[in-house]
Amino acid sequence: MSNIVPPADADARRAIKPVICYPTETLPKPDIGLYQAAFEGAEKIDEVIIPARDAASIEVPAGHLLRIICPEGPQVGDLDLFNSGNLDERFYSGKTRALHGTHVSIGDQLWSSFPYMRPMATVMEDTLAWYGIDEYGGSVHDVIGTRCDPYTGRVLNGVDYHYCCHSNLTRALARARGLSLPEAEKYVHDVLNVFMCTGFTRDTGQYFMKASPVRPGDTLGLFAEIDLLAVQSACPGGDCSSEHSSDAAQCYPLKMEVYKPAAGSLEGWQSPAVNAYDGSHGC
Ligand SMILES: [Zn+2]
C-alpha cells in the first residue's frame, strides 16, 4: 500500500456521503404489537435443552413463538433455520444483513434463501435490546459471523475439533431428519449468532467478538412466519470472551421453547408466500 500515491482529490472522494443500499421503507411491516399480544400468557407446547458444546433441534409451527433462553450462565448460540418441509429453503444470513444491518433486534426479520426469499421469522422479543452499539462498534445477535467450524480451525491452527457449531449443527440436523452426516452437512448454513457480541474493528476491519452481555433469564423471541425446523448449537466459545473451537471456555446450556398463540389472537396475520419472481433472470 505504501507505494500507492493518493490522488489529489482523495479527501474529496472520501468525504462523499454514503447511501443505504437497501432502504427498507417498502418492506411489509410486521405487526409486532399483534404478535406480542398473541403470546401474553400463551401456552408452552414444547421445549428442548441444548447441552453445553452440543446442538439440538425443535419444530416451530407457523404462527408460533420460538423463545431462546439463556438458563444458567453467559452462553451464545448458533442458530440455523429451515423450512420444516423443505430443507432447501433456509436462513439467508447475507441477505438479512443487507436488509437489516449487521445485528438484529425487535422488528427485524430473518429471510430465506433464493428463490424463496421470504421472512422465515420475525424478532419479537429481545431482552438485550438495551445494549445498542458499544464504543468498539460491537452489538448483539449478529448476522455477520458464519459459525465456528473444524475446517477454519485446521487452516489456522492445524487442529481438529469436533464440537464446533458446524459439527454440532450437522449432527443435530442429521438426527432430526434421519440424514447421513455428509448429507446433513450440505444443509448447514451461516447462522444467526444468538446473544453473541461482535463487530468489526475500526482500524483493520476485522471481525471481533467480546464477552456477551447475556445473563441467565435473557431471551430472544422469534415469531415463526412459516413452519420452521430450528437447529441450534451452544457454541464451545461459551460467552465468546476469549476463544472458540476448543474445550477451553466455560460453557453453559441453552434452551428453546415453543409457544402456541392464544386462540383467535392472530387475526389478520398470514404466513408469507414465497417470492413470486419467476426466476427468468430477464432472459
Ligand atoms: Zn460456535
Q: Please identify which residue in the block is written with the cell numbers 433455520.
A: 81
CA of 62 to the centre of ligand 1 (A): 27
CA of 147 to the centre of ligand 1 (A): 5
CA of 223 to the centre of ligand 1 (A): 24
pLDDT at residue number 283: 64
Please calculate the CA angle 193-195-201 and round it to the nearest 5 degrees: 70
Q: How confident is the model at residue 160 (pLDDT cuts 50, 70, 90)?
A: confident
Residue 76 and residue 39: Cα distance in Å, rounded? 25
Between 156 and 244, residue with greater pLDDT = 156
CA of 277 to the centre of ligand 1 (A): 35
Share of the chain above pLDDT 70, in %: 99
CA of 171 to the centre of ligand 1 (A): 14
Eight-class DSSP state of 79:
E
Are 206 and 110 in contact by the 8 Å Cβ rule? The answer is no
Q: What single string gives the DSSP state of each residue in 163-215? A: TSHHHHHHHHHHHHHT--HHHHHTT--PPEEEEEEEEE-TTT--EEEE-----
CA of 279 to the centre of ligand 1 (A): 34
Using CA atoms of 104, 231, 187, 261 in order, give the dihedral in degrees to the nearest 10.
Answer: -70
Residue 251 and residue 72: Cα distance in Å, rounded? 10
Between 206 and 247, residue with greater pLDDT = 206
pLDDT at residue number 250: 92
Residue 107 and residue 100: Cα distance in Å, rounded? 10
CA of 139 to the centre of ligand 1 (A): 17
Which residues lie near ion ligand 1 (Cβ < 5 Å)?
Answer: 78, 148, 165, 235
CA of 283 to the centre of ligand 1 (A): 41
CA of 189 to the centre of ligand 1 (A): 13
Q: How confident is the model at residue 276 (pLDDT cuts 50, 70, 90)?
A: confident
pTM of the model: 0.94
CA of 54 to the centre of ligand 1 (A): 10
Amino acid at 113: S
CA of 196 to the centre of ligand 1 (A): 10
Peptide bond into 115 cis (omega under 30): yes
Please calculate the CA angle 53-170-103 and round it to the nearest 5 degrees: 70
CA of 135 to the centre of ligand 1 (A): 24
CA of 24 to the centre of ligand 1 (A): 30
Please calculate the CA angle 106-76-168 and round it to the nearest 5 degrees: 120
> Does position 243 have pLDDT exceeding 80, yes or no?
no
Q: Give me Rg for the CA atoms of the chain.
A: 20
CA of 232 to the centre of ligand 1 (A): 10
CA of 230 to the centre of ligand 1 (A): 16
- Contacting residues for 249 by C-beta, under 8 A, at least 6 apart: 236, 237, 238, 239, 240, 241, 242, 243
CA of 246 to the centre of ligand 1 (A): 10
- Contacting residues for 78 by C-beta, under 8 A, at least 6 apart: 55, 147, 148, 165, 168, 169, 191, 192, 193, 194, 232, 233, 235
* Tens digit of each residue's pLDDT (9 = 90 or more) over 174-201: 999 999 999 999 999 999 999 999 999 9
